[in-house]
Amino acid sequence: MTATVKYDEVEVGTTLPAQTFQVQRANLIQYCGASGDFNIIHWNERVAKSVGLPNVIAHGMFTMAEAGRVVTDWAGDPGAVVEYGVRFSSPVVVADDDKGATLEVSGTVAEKLDGNRVAVDLDARVGDAKVLAKARAVVQLA
Amino acid sequence: MPINRDFIGREYVATETYEVSRELIRRFADAIGDPNPAYRDIEAAKALGHPDVIAPPTFLTVLGFRFGGTGPMSDPSLGLNYSLVVHGEQRFVHHRPVRAGDVLKIVSSVADIRDAGKNELMTTKMQITTTEGEAVADAYSTIVSRGTAAAAQEGAQEGANA
């Protein structure tokens, strides 16, 4: 585990480079296959609407994976992420158009922990909606 | 129909193992659109101190689906309507990164089932180890069953999570 970021160079409030992810239907289909999660609400608009959803929604785990990239790209070594948890607070609705949903993710060091670890809080939004809550990763720094 | 509370505390030991390969890791990394070389290039992974390519932090979600057929969700007496299910919370505690060549086994347990307004929440814990018994990770997952709480009005389903 060799994160390129040094614990001593990080303070509470240090911000991670923000990233924007475009989420389209094709991404969800591909994620169905790679994850094995074929829940019909992630690919069938007719069924998604029939069970009360506004449209097809992204897998929560897909959103979590995208948000996690802000942390793994910053840390330098994805293996430095020792803990990662989120609450899915609002669905990422993915319409059948050329744009889909635009997911914006930023991160801030919230706490310095023992053993050269830090807690990073993530903010993930689509428009005004906060799609992840209590999104926190613990990262082992150098 | 409410979820069957008798399932709380039940434990499921998967009889099969899961072999993590470089190609499975690559496929998952492709699906999340992440070009990180640690997931694809052995030399890049070694330069970071790993013996082989490693998996993204959320990769272990695949085990839940791979072994879903032997877990609580596969039992009709649980009373879960999967099209009403959305994911509520997820947390991974990694004891070490998952890497190509790992042969993993899991023990799943139903930690809790409870009402939350009109919805129900079901939390499961998945302990992931190698076949040699090395702890790899613990995964905690909470799903939301929308509008199935006993108190919910029939047909009224709102407040969905993702």
Q: Min CA distance, A12 vs chain B (Å)?
A: 22
As a CATH number, domain A7-22+60-140 is: 3.10.129.10
For residue B90, what are the domain limits?
5-20+55-145
Amino acid B86: pLDDT: 86
- Residue B160's pLDDT is 45
Mutation pick from B18, B70, B91, B148 vs chain A, by most beta carbons of A within 10 Å, is: B91
**What is the tally of structural domains in chain B?**
1
Compare all CA atoms of chain B with the CA of A40 and give the residue at the minimum distance. B83
For testing contact with chain A, the best of B26, B94, B125, B136 (most A CBs within 10 A):
B94
| Residue B101 lies inside a defined structural domain of this protein | yes
Q: Give the long-range contacts of residues A5-10, CB within 8 A, separation 24 or more.
A: A5/A74, A5/A75, A5/A76, A5/A139, A5/A141, A5/A142, A6/A141, A6/A142, A7/A112, A7/A116, A7/A117, A7/A118, A7/A141, A7/A142, A10/A109, A10/A112, A10/A118, A10/A141
Handedness of CA A132, A133, A138, A139 (dihedral sign): positive
What residues of chain B lie within 8 A of the CB of A37, using their CB?
Answer: 61, 65
ipTM: 0.96
- Averages of pLDDT over runs of 10 residues in chain B (162 residues) are 94 93 98 98 97 98 87 89 89 98 96 96 96 97 94 56 48
Per-residue pLDDT, B157:
47
A-proximal residues of B, 100-139, CB under 8 Å: none
Comparing alpha-carbon positions, the chain A residue that sits nearest to B24 is A34
The alpha-carbon gap from A107 to the nearest alpha carbon of chain B, in Å, equals 16
Amino acid at A128: D
| Residue of chain B whose alpha carbon sits nearest to that of A4 | B48
pLDDT of the residue at A42 = 96
Decide if B25 is inside a domain: no
- Taking only the tens place, the pLDDT of each residue in A44-102 is 999 999 999 999 999 999 999 999 999 999 999 999 999 999 999 999 999 999 899 99
How far from each other are the two terminal CA atoms of chain A, in whole angstroms? 8
Q: Rounded to two decimals, what is the model's pTM?
A: 0.92
Three-state helix/strand/coil letters over chain B: CCCCHHHCCCEEECCCCEECCHHHHHHHHHHCCCCCHHHCCHHHHHHCCCCCCECCCCCCHHHHHHCHHHCHHHCHHHCCCHHHEEEEEEEEEECCCCECCCEEEEEEEEEEEEEECCEEEEEEEEEEEECCCCEEEEEEEEEEECCCCCCCCCCCCCCCCC
Indicate which CATH number applies to the domain containing B89.
3.10.129.10
Query: Which residue from A minimizes the CA distance to B140?
Result: A85
Contacts A–B by Cβ distance under 8 A: 144
Residues paired with residue A129 on neighbouring β-strands, in sequence order: A126
What is the tens place of the pLDDT at every residue in A101-124?
A: 999 999 999 999 999 999 999 999
CB contact under 8 Å between A61 and B61, yes or no, is yes
User: What residue ranges do the domains of chain A occupy?
Assistant: 7-22+60-140
Of residues A47, A84, A88, nearest to B162 (C-beta):
A88
pLDDT for B69 equals 78
| Angle (CA) B116 B118 B121, round 5° | 40
Read off the pLDDT of residues A10-52 as tens digits, 9 standing for 90 and up.
999 999 999 999 999 999 999 999 999 999 999 999 999 999 9
| Inter-chain touch B32–A90, beta carbons under 8 Å | no
